[in-house]
Amino acid sequence: MAELETRYVFVTGGVASSLGKGVIAASLAKLLQSRGYSVTIQKLDPYLNIDPGTLNPYEHGECYVTDDGAETDLDLGHYERFLNVPTSQDNNVTTGRIYRNVITKERKGEYLGKTVQIIPHITDEIKRNIMLMGTRHKFDVVVTEIGGTVGDIESLPFIEAVRQLKWELGYRAMFIHLTLVPYLNASHELKTKPTQHSVKALLENGIQPDVLVLRSEHELSDDLRKKVARFCNVEADAVVQSIDVKTIYEVPIKMHEQHLDEIAMRKLQLPAKHDADMSDWIKFLEKRSKATETITVGLVGKYVELPDAYKSIIEALNHASTYNDRKLDLRLIHSEVVNADNAAEKLAGLDGIIVAPGFGQRGTEGKIEAVKYARENDIPFLGICLGMQMAVVEFARNVLGMEKANSSEMDHTTPYPVIDLMESQKNITNMGGTMRLGGYECKLKKGTHAYEAYGKEFVRERHRHRYEYNSKYLSDYEKAGMVASGVNPETGLVEIVEIPSLKWFVACQFHPEYSSTVLKPHALFMAFVKAVIASKN
Ligand code: GLN
């Protein structure tokens, strides 16, 4: 069979930000995938950072890490959780990266003396990055989400680039525009004017949307849809509503009910393969809604005001709870307020405790107290990255009697740097993209909780950290009851520690949350939730 020529779907947003473009993009991609196509999703971010790796989580939420070591936007997490297919460096492109590439080429003289300009040089570089998903990665369908809101100065080059691509690709490209239909309480009315204006703004940029997805808090009438269709040159059935649902995982089903996948296939002239098969997905949703018993899990971190900072952890816990037929009562606990005097009160009633990743000193003493509380009260515990490092520090201070033990990130004069910088990290001055990033192998020790969770000896997990377990102290730890249950087979670096005498106390240097998906919950989260249930009973 001849290879399918790649189709491109561009998703733009209007009226307001945070309407959920990523979820709409992921939902359409999921539906097309369930019809037998290979699909990927790409995010274009209009900011000047090369990648979000150096951004404070307060700015953009969690930084999501791909297996090939790219630090990316948290929307890529949704893409992987929906599609169950790994993303890569090429799935997230920022304005900063586009400009860097163009300027690097200019310095090399590759533009042969031409004046380098936004059009065509920046737009060509954007187009090249979009097309890579087809040419390099050979996907049947590429859904490209354009960050920002139409009308923003920053996203103009992206909009211009996709306008040109549509012209070049013809039926192989289409546009979906997501807007907001606000409800006015005073007049009990849904208002379509902002949508009309937003489509006008797109038209001014030469883009005619093929599909409109209207976010709304209320059901949209047929008349309203027809009105929007008429004003915006869109077919009536191509005006789709997206109203609030209990979980974002219901959105693909809602989109399917309104035939979004069929409409896209028609516009893109995609040959039909088979009907959408969403049976496993629907099973997950049914399990989720049927669960009656609850588990209460505390997530201790310093970004609790902004749950997006822990997006993947929260989702991974949701997946594992659902597959264990439990409702999740998640308590976000601010690590800065936990101390030795109030730990029992702040952590009361928790069936399980997770200590979160993070950078810098703030809130780490509270994390150490939370670890101590979990260890002394034998509450199932999962430490992730900095959470693992703090578990190692806690054990040093309170079990091994190493007073003032710490990670050298928090205290570079500590007498016991049980977490320390690797030689290879010591001379690094650039902050961006220089941590231990992406997938690494880990060898598990038989007979440990980690081995039991995964059920195999070799696993691959994603990392994002600079500091490491200091193996100099390993034998002290093992003698006192905290063992290394997972190590990197090449470097010997300790990747997982656990306390075998406790019910379930496991901490990992990597981020298991990045690879938990709706159809494939992560082994460690599954084991953690199982331990929580067992300990509760
Ligand atoms: N700050 C720690 C380090 O750099 C942990 C990082 C993290 O939790 N992602 O090693």
Tell me the average pLDDT across 262-268. 96
Q: Which of 385, 449, 463, 495 is catalytic?
A: 385
Average pLDDT, the chain: 95
* Closest approach atom of ligand 1 to CA 385: 8
Quick: pLDDT tens for 358-397: 999 999 999 999 999 999 999 999 999 999 999 999 999 9
Q: Which of 382, 389, 409, 510 to mutate to test the pocket of ligand 1 (most atoms within 8 A of CB)?
A: 389
Report the amino acid identity of residue 286: E
* Closest approach atom of ligand 1 to CA 511: 9
CA of 509 to the centre of ligand 1 (A): 8
Q: Residue 57: its pLDDT value, please?
A: 85
Ligand 1 contact via 386 beta carbon (within 6 Å): yes
CA of 97 to the centre of ligand 1 (A): 24
- 449 by Cβ neighbours in 10 Å (0-12 / 13-18 / 19+) ranks as buried
Q: Which of 359, 371, 409 to mutate to test the pocket of ligand 1 (most atoms within 8 A of CB)?
A: 359
Dihedral sign, Cα of residue 388, residue 393, residue 398, residue 399: positive
Please give the span between the terminal C-alpha atoms of the chain, in angstroms, as a whole number: 56
Q: Residue 307: its pLDDT value, please?
A: 87
Quick: pLDDT tens for 117-160: 999 999 999 999 999 998 888 999 999 999 999 999 999 999 99
Ligand 1 contact via 111 beta carbon (within 6 Å): no
Residue 54 pLDDT exceeds 90: no
| Percent of the chain whose pLDDT exceeds 90 | 89
Tell me the average pLDDT across 242-258. 95
Ligand 1 contact via 383 beta carbon (within 6 Å): no
Ligand 1 contact via 357 beta carbon (within 6 Å): yes
Quick: pLDDT tens for 436-445: 999 999 999 9
Burial 191-226 (b: 16+ CB within 10 A, else e): ebeebeebbebbeeeebebbbbbbbbeeebeeebbe
Ligand 1 contact via 385 beta carbon (within 6 Å): yes
Q: Residue 1: its pLDDT value, please?
A: 42
**Residues contacting residue 335 through CB under 8 Å, at least 6 positions apart:** 300, 301, 302, 355, 356, 363, 364, 366, 367, 370
CA of 528 to the centre of ligand 1 (A): 21
Residue 16 pLDDT exceeds 80: yes
Confidence of residue 45 (pLDDT cuts 50, 70, 90): very high
Residue 2 pLDDT exceeds 70: no
Nearest CA to ligand 1 atom 5: 386
Report the amino acid identity of residue 327: K
CA distance linking residue 15 with residue 273, whole number of Å: 36
For 174, the 3-state DSSP assignment is strand
Ligand 1 contact via 462 beta carbon (within 6 Å): no
- 511 catalytically annotated: yes
- 465 catalytically annotated: no
Q: Residue 397: its pLDDT value, please?
A: 98
Q: Residue 388: its pLDDT value, please?
A: 98
- 106 catalytically annotated: no
Ligand 1 contact via 359 beta carbon (within 6 Å): yes
* pTM metric for this prediction: 0.94
Q: Residue 191: its pLDDT value, please?
A: 94
